[in-house]
Amino acid sequence: MSDQPFQPSSAPVPPPPSCQEPPPLELVTEKLAFGGQAIARLDRFVYFVDDALPGETVRAVVYKRKKNFAFARAVEILKASPDRVPPTCPWMGRCGGCALRHCAPAAQLRLKRDILVEALHALPAAQALVAPVVPSPHTDDYRNKMVYSFGETLDGELRLGLHRRGSYIHILPADDCLLQSAASREIVRRTVALANRLHIGAFHEIKKTAGLRTLMVREARHTGQRLVELLATADFPGLAEAFSAEMQGLADTVYVSIDHNIRGTPTASDRRLIRGPGYLVETLGGLRFRVGPDTFFQSNTEQAEALFRAVAEEAVRDGSIPAVALDLFTGTGPIALRLASASPATRVYGVESWAPSVEAARLNAAENHIANVSFQVADVNRALPPGLPSHADLVVVDPPRPGLSNAAIDWILRMTPADILYVSCNPSTLARDLATIAAKAPAYVPLAVRPFDLFPHTYHLETLVHLRLVPFS
């Protein structure tokens, strides 16, 4: 395999002799889609164009065609947008890690806001409230967690990094990846050097030959602690001891685990702690949190603090203090614990479907000496979890990308909370759920729509929406 850095003005890589690549098209792009592609139209047909920005004229090659639209890749920029900047990563256009590194940071914020505004087109009251996107304090080195995959080139070179866009077997090296910290980059370099010294190759996703599969690096930005987990598909003699020694001075907790599930998603089915307490401790909003290898924790620590601070602000808007609050999809409890610590008079219930996260949330409550909060394991999207009160003054939801189920919306509305705070990572499902709430309970009106950029150089966006129950007079 040979991977060269992407150059927008260079000719496309020639296809294999057995494939006839369609001739390039000249397209004029209009706007950015949620997904990072620029949208173009030609002869009443829609194209989603990789590596292009709105307002550009590009020469593009179609690589996937559907009935009513197609996906294309920009191979030459004929007229560039004023928002285009030289990408700071040589793998821009090939790596799946960043989609907007060729776009100026200020323009990224504007384009993300445009995506959110368009998603809310059927909800004019909410659309009118969309605030400017809160920028991340840092646009590089901001991720506190990275999971890298191992792979090999055709000539046997071991690689550790991120998947090439659209591929699950081709790996681009991450020793200079700007999403991670300098210490994380050094961990990547040392791991590759160690594997080469020990003559341990990469697990082959097709042949299923034994080898190294992934490396996870987690960092506590405020305490400086690090946790690493090297995942292999076999127990290689001497690997655990050598890896632990290589991580001296770089990681406080070291795992070398075995993945027996070689036909599925990489999973530490036999987790082995080699050194350290098994978790790291991070501080967020003055609270301490235990973060283990499987614990969900927002990947941008500083921006997560800004988001959770905004949730706390909206929870007491106009001076109202809820007596009973629900935090649904609570994870390890950062929102629930913040609400409980801010108001000892508020009783907070956190609900999460992933049992290890609930266990971590309970430990976090004890660690922070917070008694007015409880956590339970339940699937919010299936039915009203047992043990919850019949009424809540405040309900906070922070669902994954698919959003809320109709069942969840129904039982939340039956609680008639005075305020609903919806934290979303997907503008499309956010708009769908807000429309469902508006149809079922039109007395809930939006008070605020506050977007946050937690993932610079990507199309992802977090949004906080505040709904308040305003009974009809």
- The 3-class secondary structure across 254-269, one letter per residue, is EEEEECCCCCCCCCCC
* Torsion sign across C-alpha atoms 74, 80, 84, 85: positive
CA 3 to chain centre: 26
Q: How many CA atoms lie within 13 A of 289 on its CB side?
A: 29
Helices (H) and strands (E) in the chain, counts: 9, 21
* pLDDT by residue, tens only, the chain of 473 residues: 434 433 443 434 444 444 566 789 999 999 999 999 999 999 999 999 999 999 999 999 999 999 999 999 999 999 999 999 999 999 998 998 899 999 999 999 999 999 999 999 999 999 999 999 999 999 999 999 999 999 999 999 999 999 998 887 899 999 999 999 999 999 999 999 999 999 999 999 889 999 999 999 999 999 999 999 999 999 999 999 999 999 999 999 999 999 998 888 999 999 999 999 999 999 999 999 999 999 889 999 999 999 999 999 999 999 989 999 999 999 999 999 999 999 999 999 999 999 989 999 999 999 999 999 999 999 999 999 999 999 999 999 999 999 999 999 999 999 999 999 999 999 999 999 999 999 999 999 999 999 999 999 999 999 999 999 998 75
Query: Per residue in 254-282, pLDDT tens?
Result: 999 999 988 889 999 999 999 999 999 99
Query: Environment class of residue 108 by beta-carbon count within 10 Å: exposed (0-12), middle (13-18) or buried (19+)?
Result: buried
| CB 453, CB 109: distance < 8 Å | yes
Residue 472 is predicted with a pLDDT of: 75
Residue 89 per-residue DSSP state? S
Residue 10 is predicted with a pLDDT of: 40
| CB 59, CB 44: distance < 8 Å | no
Residue 20 is predicted with a pLDDT of: 65
Torsion of CA 433, 437, 438, 442, to 10 degrees: -170
| CB 424, CB 399: distance < 8 Å | yes
Q: What are the structural domains, with CATH classification, of the chain?
A: 1-84 (2.40.50.140), 116-137+285-469 (3.40.50.150), 145-283 (2.40.50.1070)
- Element housing 26 (H / E): strand 25-32
CA nearest 459: which of 75, 70, 107, 159? 107
Residue 100 is predicted with a pLDDT of: 96
Residue 52 per-residue DSSP state? -
Separation between Cα atoms, residue 79 and residue 7, nearest integer Å:
15
Residue 6 is predicted with a pLDDT of: 38
Q: pTM of the entire structure?
A: 0.92
Catalytic residue among 95, 103, 177, 425: 425
Residue 168 is predicted with a pLDDT of: 79
CA nearest 411: which of 431, 447, 440? 440
Where in 298-443 does DSSP place strands (E)?
324-328, 347-352, 373-377, 394-397, 419-424
Residue 96 is predicted with a pLDDT of: 84
Please spell the DSSP secondary structure of 415-452, one letter per residue: T--SEEEEEES-HHHHHHHHHHHHHH-TTEEEEEEEEE
The amino acid present at 123, given as its one-letter code, is L
Torsion of CA 280, 301, 231, 332, to 10 degrees: 60
- Retrieve residue 332's tokens: 């390890």
Q: Helix, strand or coil for residue 84?
A: strand
Residue 473 is predicted with a pLDDT of: 59
Query: Per residue in 57-82, pLDDT tens?
Result: 999 999 999 999 999 999 999 999 99
Question: Is 103 tagged catalytic?
Answer: no
| CB 11, CB 75: distance < 8 Å | yes
Residue 4 is predicted with a pLDDT of: 40
- Retrieve residue 351's tokens: 């609900």
- Retrieve residue 96's tokens: 């799946």
Separation between Cα atoms, residue 16 and residue 290, nearest integer Å:
50
Neighbour count for residue 274 (Cβ, 10 Å) = 20
- Element housing 58 (H / E): strand 57-65
